[in-house]
Structure 1
């Protein structure tokens, strides 16, 4: 199709439309000229002129009142940048207007910019990738498929990055999973359709139980799959969906059970614990977390019946365990070796003195019990059992003072291997340094937690490193704010042979250089937690085999 007259060689409906607009003065240059004319009029009205980069602002009203008044302003870099940005925006607006004007309306006949075939324009016609012309339905569909595939690839890449980040948070390696692990995850996914798990071993049973607990999938109908007469150890980490009868099934189907761990067991009642006392004749280890419905008479009855065989007791998150229950525990559990109380709210400092009747303790936890902890009570307990303690946990112990370190732990805890003083903001830097300096009776700690001990600094931690560098396996320094990079360099230079887990989160002196040094100089290091350290970037070169989690660039 050609345009008549003038010998024009313009062909096609698209070119005809462009020529039609140009004849009526509708093009980018005309729009630009009109814009500049409008701007010039506004400047003239405001008395603004520009010569050789100098802007002159004058007010005719002021000139009429007080003679001629002029202000000469040299444009700043910010003004120049703003002016350039405005011109660029005008250019984009011009292109947008032209595109809207020149785009054919639905119902018109066009030639495909790809295959040159005639087609009828619709509201869904796609523009060519070059930006010139439209595409017919078949060509548009082809490109739509390509765009769809690109979106799928982007989504797949995003999911992969998410899985990598999630694996880091779960402290897992990102690699091809074992067939066994794939089967375990598949079983956990379709656990409601499984009739029996069979003889897969306690280790694999525990894996499946952990997955179900994480997904809140441990329910009355699935708990039966884990109950077999021969099983001796059972750990359920989320029992929030189990009713009282399901708890009783554990004792009914597992009479040979020796170790039982139940967390988030808020629906467990007195009748369940009484049933355990009657049926579980081989039980020697219990751990109940969140059993807040169990009352004192029930605890007393349980310890009276099974206390003589218990060697490990862990009770957490309950307000219904007071002095009478503790008295029954110490009277009936003479062979108790491991005792853990965490957030047991009704115990006081006078009650904890009863622990002096447990001379065989090797592991003691009294965490998140501020009102019950005093210097005198802890020191008296350590005088009795400190010489054999290998693990001591006093987390959230802000009511304690440096006396516990210098008068309790240092003189009496020569065999200590695990020390946890998390949230111990009352301990001083000097006292911690004095604890570890020349502590010859102790051969070195293996696991140390000083999280949020915010009054401890370089002196105390450096004394710890010099004392225990050759034995440390796990070290938590999270939120020990006063530390400087000299302590981190000392830790790296000490060649901690066995250090495998290190938490240096929210220590703002730590950056790329520090984590690189730690990963290179600590041969057994497997995990570095670095939440809140903005100086650690994706540039950090971490040795193969070391997982770094908490880095801001590793987003989900």
Structure 2
């Protein structure tokens, strides 16, 4: 509110009220003048603002006369204090006006006429406009928007979110609530980042990375993240190129552009771990560029069709190693044609997830045309049956055999394979053979003397006595890899009762470790739930040592306890990873430094990296 410099003396209650409500006499006068001008324009009757008949003018004049009457009159003993209060109020108002003039909002409004400021107006009008817009003016009196308490506005007065101003008490409460809300938001954000970091750490641990990443690992990851900027891999070692290919497959970054980095004219080996984004022309480009190609490995090769195989047959070189995964569009006719034309030089053939067109007739072509074949892997195949296994028995140079067939097979064909080529086998792996019985174990014991890797999984009829006969007094050298997971009793009314000792049980496990324990590197007895607590404690007792064992899987062996896990870490000094999923008696184990325990649920995840010295 503007004060008349000619007015002296105390102010009336009305003046104080008008000042507290930011009501200005000049504003009322301006609005009245505008209404009068609008009325005169409409009625064409000249009207002046000094017309005493105008109600607003009368009100204004009455207000002024009331102020004059309030300020006029004889002086009394309270005149001096009231004069000082008036000067103090004017001083505070002047400071508030100066504060408004120095504010950035005032300067912007003064410089920009489009925001309601006319450059022809004096600064006092701009200040008045700022006050009318509701800007905080220190020194004015306001009612708190929450508690309705009357208070004096300061430069630190806070605004209520719903409009109005807050007193110091309510403002402090509002600030505390905002601070708590921000802190809670930061905690949630940090928790989310911590969760991502923990998952990333768990993934790195499962990938075999413990501790700080090596410089080579950092370089490979950086290259994989910026693979679009790479022009050539140069003369990088094959191991580094393979790691780069794995990183690209993990990130699903292998495409027609990045493929060019791996196909060089002098390359004799090409490995693509994820070819899902490649088309037939990309595969043909591999054979066009790599004129010295000897080894080819393709996973998820969905678009590897007959036309690609025909182009491969037209080249003047023969593949020695051919690994194809997911090529369901290759017909049986093209497979037989390729084996007849290029099968003589083929030494390793791995065919995975070709459910329809790789059949018994194709295996027969292997027998007739691939006399040099030393490694054969048929995985997740839905066409090969007992007849095809009989053909495999005639591959005289076979050293490594891995079969995972969808059709149920019997014991006799496997026995024929072992009787014919078992003495030369290094690897014998069969999966999901629930109907194969102890006769195969007896054939392995009798004919195999060079095995290094043995895998028999999901057997439901083999017995513990058969495994004892296999490992006791076996002339075969010590195995380095054994996988007997889920060789157990299935159709039992009471799962823990096993009167016939079906599957790998205590005596078979003890015989296994007695035969191959000192050279064994990887052991999987997942789901062999009838191995007793005493058998585990005897095998991993304090006087037993297994220096080569680095990977052990004993998940869902219900008798495993904290003591047994501790004994395993003591007996296996080079153990890197131990899996104990489903071992409910394992609760709190001290994991040695550098070891990994997987499968114990806790607040940090399912993977525990040891830190105890």
TM-score by length of 2: 0.67
Q: Distance in 2 between matches of 1:206 and 1:109?
A: 75
Q: How does 1:181-200 map to 2 (within 5 A)?
A: 181-200=217-236
What is the aligned partner in structure 2 of residue 548 from structure 1? Answer: 597
State whether residues 251 and 280 of structure 1, in contact with CA within 8 Å, keep that contact through their aligned partners in structure 2: no
Counterpart selection for 2:363 from 314, 326, 329: 326
Distance change >3 Å, CA 514–CA 547, structure 1 → 2? same
State whether residues 109 and 118 of structure 1, in contact with CA within 8 Å, keep that contact through their aligned partners in structure 2: no
Q: Distance in 1 between matches of 2:182 and 2:241?
A: 46
Deviation digits for residues 326-376 of structure 1 (CA, Å, limit 9, x no counterpart) = 2222222111111111222222312322223311111111223443x3222
Q: Distance in 2 between matches of 1:163 and 1:219?
A: 25
1:432 aligns with 2:467: yes
Task: Tell me the SS of whatever aligns to 1:315.
Answer: strand
TM-score by length of 1: 0.73
Deviation digits for residues 43-81 of structure 1 (CA, Å, limit 9, x no counterpart) = xxxxxxxxxxxxxxxxxxxxxxxxxxxxxxxxxxxxxxx
What is the aligned partner in structure 1 of residue 396 from structure 2? Answer: 359
What is the aligned partner in structure 1 of residue 487 from structure 2? Answer: 453
Does 145-154 or 374-383 show the bigger shift?
145-154
1:533 aligns with 2:583: yes
Count of aligned residue pairs for this structure pair: 441
Counterpart selection for 1:375 from 411, 423, 440: 411
What is the aligned partner in structure 2 of residue 444 from structure 1? Answer: 478
Distance change >3 Å, CA 109–CA 547, structure 1 → 2? farther
Deviation digits for residues 448-482 of structure 1 (CA, Å, limit 9, x no counterpart) = 00111113211211111111111111000111111
What is the aligned partner in structure 2 of residue 482 from structure 1? Answer: 530
State whether residues 418 and 448 of structure 2, in contact with CA within 8 Å, keep that contact through their aligned partners in structure 1: yes
**Cα distance, 1:396 vs structure 2:** 0.6
List runs of 5+ in structure 1 lacking aligned partners. 1-103
* Higher relative contact order (Cα pairs below 8 Å, separated by 6+ residues): 1
**Cα distance, 1:486 vs structure 2:** 2.0
Q: Distance in 2 between matches of 1:139 and 1:379?
A: 79
Q: Distance in 1 between matches of 2:150 and 2:523?
A: 72
What is the aligned partner in structure 2 of residue 416 from structure 1? Answer: 451
What is the aligned partner in structure 1 of residue 519 from structure 2? Answer: 471
Task: Tell me the SS of whatever aligns to 1:549.
Answer: strand
Distance change >3 Å, CA 535–CA 280, structure 1 → 2? farther
1:306 aligns with 2:364: no
**Cα distance, 1:313 vs structure 2:** 0.8
Q: Distance in 1 between matches of 2:293 and 2:321?
A: 9
Task: Tell me the SS of whatever aligns to 1:550.
Answer: strand
RMSD over aligned CA atoms reads 2.8
Q: Distance in 2 between matches of 1:110 and 1:190?
A: 64
Distance change >3 Å, CA 109–CA 252, structure 1 → 2? farther
List runs of 5+ in structure 2 lacking aligned partners. 1-143, 489-502, 607-613
Q: Distance in 1 between matches of 2:157 and 2:349?
A: 84
Task: Tell me the SS of whatever aligns to 2:376.
Answer: strand
Task: Tell me the SS of whatever aligns to 1:552.
Answer: strand
**Cα distance, 1:134 vs structure 2:** 5.5
Q: Distance in 2 between matches of 1:410 and 1:110?
A: 99
What is the aligned partner in structure 1 of residue 59 from structure 2? Answer: none
Q: Distance in 1 between matches of 2:250 and 2:157?
A: 60
**Cα distance, 1:551 vs structure 2:** 2.1
Q: How does 1:58-457 map to 2 (within 5 A)?
A: 106=146, 108=148, 119-122=158-161, 135=172, 147=184, 149-168=186-205, 170-279=206-315, 281-318=317-354, 319-371=356-408, 373-406=409-442, 408-439=443-474, 441-454=475-488, 455-457=503-505
**Cα distance, 1:235 vs structure 2:** 1.9
State whether residues 108 and 121 of structure 1, in contact with CA within 8 Å, keep that contact through their aligned partners in structure 2: no
State whether residues 146 and 170 of structure 2, in contact with CA within 8 Å, keep that contact through their aligned partners in structure 1: no
Q: Distance in 2 between matches of 1:360 and 1:252?
A: 32
1:503 aligns with 2:553: yes
